[in-house]
């Protein structure tokens, strides 16, 4: 039996802190290779420059500042950020706002913006002094005097070649603003097309679209013809896919409703309908949108997870997926917190379902690593995509860096364990960041600028 004295050196050895994983040579090599890949970002919400969310009136005039970046980040989802007083000064805001981060230093919705402050501004936000905060605010304001800052951060610093942009503020405008932008047709509101009163904005209104196209809208058949024409116009305008965020509004189970039930709702305002009538119409139209997705070869991005928790599990979509094998489904956010279930869906239906890690490394870096490890073990590596899902240059940069870092750690860990050759790991990294999107959306090839 060993004495306590004999065991002491072993105990000391076990308590020595391990080397930082990101300093390991395999990780550094893989991360460097991933950083050099011109990425295809499959989801963001970058508004036109003059309409960027977060623009405020300051004592220097109207513009973007530190308050605007934080208040329009994801942090406000579960942690209030101090309101900016119109026309106010930075010092007045910061005196209160600097304490807004005290309880969220470890959270993903705080930490995803830190790489942008570090790499773009040379600032360690965790150790920020009042003077550094004031200078950071001034630099942000200056950078956002024109859109060159955004273009440079996205295309050069974040090394994003093409970025899918979901214009939820004007879903049916079918217009793009940025040279690197890929149009997404957001079809969320189209399931409510039973009556014109459902559409307060002309840019969301299929009835306005029908009038501009000279289409009648007197029957359900007319409405379905309008949807078909809309898909044609969107594709001609460069749309690469569809997107829905219905998971924020209702459960993702869509029944295959008979046409007769949908007919009951068409042409009647919501006040004359029961909740069951509305849901039946929505379900009927969702199935038609899925069919049009296949007809026009526009993959369907669907928000899953982290919405209405009681109804956003991707498992609720399985019947719809199974019944529509010609439609290319892209399950967003890895279905978090149901990442394992999402992987099981792709494993079973891998020929026409993809997982998009968009937003997942921002929600939880740990969950994203765990999910990537598992997914790469249960499905082909050409099934995984990524996106940043932000609305400012700094957020997009930070989310992109977190994704590259997460992917690099997963691949390096598999290489270190002997589960992957390094050359195979690099191929997987390139697939996730770029090649899988090019294969799923082949029309992107004509948009590529960076020749490798």
282 and 182 fall within a common domain: yes
115 and 165 fall within a common domain: no
Residue 450 pLDDT: 59
Is 80 exceeded by the pLDDT of residue 135? yes
Q: Are 337 and 307 in contact (CB under 8 A)?
A: no
Q: What pLDDT, in 10s, does the model give residues 373-392?
A: 999 999 999 999 999 999 99
172 and 277 fall within a common domain: yes
195 and 275 fall within a common domain: yes
Nearest C-alpha neighbor of 37 from the set 431, 414, 442, 380: 431
Asked whether residue 29 is assigned to any structural domain, the reply reads no
Q: What is the domain count for the chain? A: 2
Length of the chain measured in residues: 452
Packed helices 114-121 and 393-416: angle between N→C axes, nearest 10 degrees: 100
Is 60 exceeded by the pLDDT of residue 14? no
Instruction: Report the distance separating Cα 237 and Cα 425, nearest Å.
Output: 37
Classify each residue of 111-130 as buried b or exposed e, where b means 16 or more C-beta atoms within 10 Å of its C-beta. Answer: bbbbbbbebbbebebeebee
Residue 6 pLDDT: 42
Asked whether residue 24 is assigned to any structural domain, the reply reads no
100 and 167 fall within a common domain: no
Helices within 253-338 (DSSP H only) = 259-265, 275-295, 318-323
181 and 279 fall within a common domain: yes
Decide which of 88, 109, 143 is a domain's last residue: 143
Asked whether residue 384 is assigned to any structural domain, the reply reads yes
| Structure-model confidence comparison of residues 200 and 19, the more confident one | 200
Instruction: Report the distance separating Cα 193 and Cα 198, nearest Å.
Output: 7
Asked whether residue 10 is assigned to any structural domain, the reply reads no
Q: What is the mean pLDDT of residues 442-450?
A: 89
Nearest C-alpha neighbor of 344 from the set 384, 309, 374: 374
227 and 78 fall within a common domain: no
Asked whether residue 12 is assigned to any structural domain, the reply reads no
Q: Are 375 and 335 in contact (CB under 8 A)?
A: no
Instruction: Report the distance separating Cα 392 and Cα 44, nearest Å.
Output: 9
Q: Which domain holds residue 94?
A: 55-143
Nearest C-alpha neighbor of 318 from the set 309, 306, 331: 331
274 and 309 fall within a common domain: yes
Taking CA atoms, 254 is separated from 78, 231, 294, 316, in Å, by 30, 21, 17, 8
pLDDT band per the 50, 70, 90 thresholds, residue 22: confident
Residue 20 pLDDT: 63
The CATH code of the domain that includes 422 is: 3.20.20.140
Q: What pLDDT, in 10s, does the model give residues 178-197?
A: 999 999 999 999 999 999 99
Decide which of 83, 114, 143 is a domain's last residue: 143
Asked whether residue 226 is assigned to any structural domain, the reply reads yes
Tracing tokens 């590259």 back to the chain, one arrives at 404
Instruction: Report the distance separating Cα 278 and Cα 416, nearest Å.
Output: 54
139 and 167 fall within a common domain: no
pTM of the model: 0.94
Asked whether residue 15 is assigned to any structural domain, the reply reads no
- Whether the CA torsion 273, 277, 282, 285 is positive or negative: it is negative
- Mean pLDDT computed over every residue of the chain: 95
pLDDT band per the 50, 70, 90 thresholds, residue 12: very low
Q: What pLDDT, in 10s, does the model give residues 46-68?
A: 999 999 999 999 999 999 999 99
Q: Are 175 and 191 in contact (CB under 8 A)?
A: no
120 and 181 fall within a common domain: no
117 and 196 fall within a common domain: no
Asked whether residue 92 is assigned to any structural domain, the reply reads yes
pLDDT band per the 50, 70, 90 thresholds, residue 23: confident
74 and 136 fall within a common domain: yes
Residue 9 pLDDT: 36
Is 50 exceeded by the pLDDT of residue 18? no
Residue 42 pLDDT: 98
């Amino acid at each position: 039996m060993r004495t306590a004295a004999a065991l002491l050196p072993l105990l000391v050895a076990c308590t020595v802190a391990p080397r930082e994983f990101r300093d390991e040579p395999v990780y550094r090599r893989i991360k460097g290779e991933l950083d050099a890949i011109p990425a295809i970002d499959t989801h963001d919400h970058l508004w036109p420059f003059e309409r960027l969310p977060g623009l405020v009136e300051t004592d220097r005039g109207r513009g973007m500042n530190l308050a605007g970046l934080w208040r329009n980040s994801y942090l406000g989802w579960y942690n209030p950020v101090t309101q900016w007083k119109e026309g106010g000064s930075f010092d007045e805001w910061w005196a209160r706002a600097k304490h807004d981060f005290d309880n969220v230093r470890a959270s993903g919705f705080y930490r995803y913006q830190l790489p942008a402050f570090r790499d773009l501004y040379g600032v360690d936000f965790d150790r920020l002094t009042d003077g550094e905060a004031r200078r950071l605010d001034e630099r942000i304001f200056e950078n956002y005097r024109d859109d060159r800052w955004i273009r440079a951060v996205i295309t050069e610093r974040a090394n994003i070649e093409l970025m899918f942009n979901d214009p939820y503020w004007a879903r049916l405008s079918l217009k793009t603003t940025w040279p690197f932008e890929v149009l997404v047709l957001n079809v969320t509101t189209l399931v409510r097309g039973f009556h014109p009163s459902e559409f307060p904005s002309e840019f969301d209104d299929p009835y306005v679209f029908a009038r501009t196209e000279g289409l009648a809208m007197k029957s359900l058949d007319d409405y379905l013809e309008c949807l078909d024409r809309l898909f044609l116009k969107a594709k001609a305008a460069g749309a690469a896919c569809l997107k829905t965020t219905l998971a924020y509004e209702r459960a993702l189970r869509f029944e295959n409703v008979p046409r007769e039930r949908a007919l009951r709702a068409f042409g009647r305002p919501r006040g004359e309908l029961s909740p069951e009538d509305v849901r039946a119409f929505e379900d009927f139209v969702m199935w038609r949108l899925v069919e049009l997705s296949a007809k026009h070869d526009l993959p369907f991005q669907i928000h899953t997870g982290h919405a209405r928790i009681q109804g956003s599990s991707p498992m609720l979509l399985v019947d719809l997926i199974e019944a529509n094998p010609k439609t290319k489904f892209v399950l967003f956010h890895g279905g978090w917190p149901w990442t394992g279930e999402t992987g099981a869906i792709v494993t079973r239906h891998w020929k026409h379902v993809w997982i998009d890690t968009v937003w997942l490394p921002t929600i939880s870096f740990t969950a994203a690593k765990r999910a990537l490890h598992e997914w790469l073990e249960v499905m082909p590596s050409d099934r995984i995509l990524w996106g940043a899902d932000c609305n400012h240059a700094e957020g997009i940069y930070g989310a992109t860096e977190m994704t590259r870092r997460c992917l690099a750690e997963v691949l390096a860990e598999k290489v270190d364990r002997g589960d992957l050759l390094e050359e195979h790991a690099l191929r997987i990294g390139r697939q996730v960041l770029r090649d899988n999107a090019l294969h799923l959306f082949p029309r992107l090839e004509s948009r590529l600028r960076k020749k490798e």
